[in-house]
């Protein structure tokens, strides 16, 4: 396994402004504020979590059980023939840099 990298240029002009607006207007997805927090997503109370609940698999399972917009992190779910995403960042030139495992699932 090795980590590979790719970049996406946010300044690339693939669509005109009118084309982007038309695509947004035609979209059927419900878009909500990424920073909204459900009422159930509250701070933990002292002593509420013990070491057993923080085992690696338990912590991941608990986070994965949250709704997509409540999770607070990007979850990837590659299937056979796809590649696991390892890291996302914006590089110094302003491009989106994506690091991924170069071995498919």
Say if residues 10 and 94 touch (Cβ distance below 8 Å): yes
Of 16-30, 56-70, 91-105, which one has max mean pLDDT?
Answer: 91-105
The position carrying tokens 């796809």 is: 82
Domains of the chain by residue range: 3-101
Say if residues 89 and 97 touch (Cβ distance below 8 Å): yes
Segment 63-78 shows an average pLDDT of 79
Residue 33: pLDDT band (50, 70, 90) is: very low
Give the whole-number percent of the chain exceeding pLDDT 90. Answer: 0
């Amino acid at each position: 396994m090795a980590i590979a990298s790719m970049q996406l240029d946010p300044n690339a002009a693939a669509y005109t402004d009118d084309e982007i607006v038309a695509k947004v207007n035609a979209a059927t997805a419900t878009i909500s504020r990424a920073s909204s927090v459900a009422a159930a997503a509250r701070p933990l109370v002292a002593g509420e979590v013990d070491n057993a609940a923080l085992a690696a698999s338990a912590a991941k399972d608990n986070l994965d059980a949250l709704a997509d917009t409540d999770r607070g992190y990007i979850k990837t779910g590659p299937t056979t023939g796809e590649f696991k995403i390892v890291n996302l960042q914006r590089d110094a030139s302003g491009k989106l840099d994506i690091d991924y495992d170069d071995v498919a699932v």
